[in-house]
Amino acid sequence: MSKKTLILFTIAFPYNKEVENTFITPELDALAEEFEKIYFVPTQIEGNLKQKLPLNSFIVTTYARKIKRFSFLLYAFLLAFTRKYTWEELFFLLREFHFRKFLRWAKASAWGQATASWIEEFLLEEKIDINNTLLYTYWFNNITSGLIFYKLNKSVDISVVTRAHGGDLYEERFNPKYFPYRPFVLKHIKRVYLISEQGKKYLSDKYPKWISKFAVARLGVTFHAHTTPIPKAQMPIRIVSCSSLIPIKRVEMIFDAINSLDTTNIEWIHFGNGPLYKELNAIILENKHQNISVQLKGFIDNQDIFQFYKNNYIDLFVNASTTEGVPVSIMEAQSFGIPVIAPNIGGISEIVNQETGFLINNLASSSEIRNQINNYIANRDTWTSKRDAIKQFCFDNYDSSINAQIFIKLINSNY
């Protein structure tokens, strides 16, 4: 039986947030058809609103406003000490005390109780029937914990589910390794939807007791009808990357790899902005060789990126991240038949293989990236002939319209 109301917690969606727009937009139509009402609850409400939201959706800003108040978080933190599960987590933490773990626990406790208080108030104000409501967090974070806190605080049988991607899943990405309340949340949550088989295996190996609650619900992209451009004589080797300019994306390493190529007439275009933009631009201006041209496009709307892919022959898409789930940016490139170079991290091996590109070491150097670019250049005609197969692979596995329906079926099968 379907749930009548969906309350979806996000970081910023439907306000402009480059990554979340890419992730969430493709599944909106399917969610709008399944639920009578959808409430979007972002924690950040800066920037412009995304256009063309479903008619049966509503944006709730009170959570973002309330969670910013220090007095509210302090009250919530003190309130946490009235709960048995808070003390149990604290005692567990004190067995091997680490100050940064303690800080994460304190933040999780405050945010969690604040979320629990807010959702209780919101459900009452809106007169929402909890028996016909699904609470869905797009990220497996402190908000997820807070919804579980509410469930136990009030002894209500409300359904809570979450997606888990990369940074909200793999504890090894943090030092020290610790997600506050994770076993407790897994005990009481309805389902965790992983975006890859690798992610499901990771969580299953770590928490085998709750394996029945884990399911794979892949992300996806919208496919655009187009004819693959034909490479012309004297056309440059055109390489594209797309990510935020932050340390874990290692975009400077992509530049180093391309800048070390001996091939004449190389073109690199990067889509995405971030705190490292000025630093990267300065490095490029100081070190760029004459045989390459570079364009740092900054933040570009997805539709404009798709038009660029559609109208230009892109030789390669390169990802050099240290952490990933299954990047939607790779799916987008593959939907246009573009071969990919990417590291063997997260679930990338499920989308990049010898038929779709080049899987490199999880901590590959710029020289390894350069070697694979040279490998591609030496076999450019072969890869040109594979482009339709790459598109088909992506369509078979990452068509958002299909995957969104699979996700809806998974949700319905649990109730």
User: What domains can you pick out in the chain, each with its CATH number?
Assistant: 5-220+400-413 (3.40.50.2000), 237-397 (3.40.50.2000)
In this prediction, residue 25 has a pLDDT band, given cuts at 50, 70 and 90, of confident
Point out which residues pair with 194 in neighbouring strands. Answer: 164, 216
pTM score: 0.90
Query: Residue 311 region, left (φ>0) first, then alpha (ψ -120 to 50), else beta?
Result: alpha
Residue 23 has pLDDT above 70, yes or no: yes
| Rounded distance between C-alpha atoms, residue 122 and residue 375, angstroms | 57
pLDDT at 415 over 90: no
User: CB–CB of 282/209 below 8 Å?
Assistant: no
**What's the confidence (pLDDT) of residue 123?**
97
254 pLDDT more than 50 = yes
Instruction: State mean pLDDT over 250-270.
Output: 95
pLDDT of amino acid 2: 61
pLDDT tens track for 263-313: 889 999 999 999 999 999 999 999 999 999 999 999 888 889 999 999 999
Residue 1: per-residue pLDDT: 47
Rounded to the nearest 5 percent, the helix, strand and coil shares of the chain are: 50, 15, 35
User: What is the predicted pLDDT for the residue at 17?
Assistant: 64
Res 121: pLDDT: 97
Residue among 237, 136, 141, 246 at smallest CA distance from 191? 136
Mean pLDDT of 33-38: 95
Residue 234 reports pLDDT greater than 80 = no
CA distance 271 to 148: 38
Per-residue confidence (pLDDT) for residue 19, from 0 to 100: 67
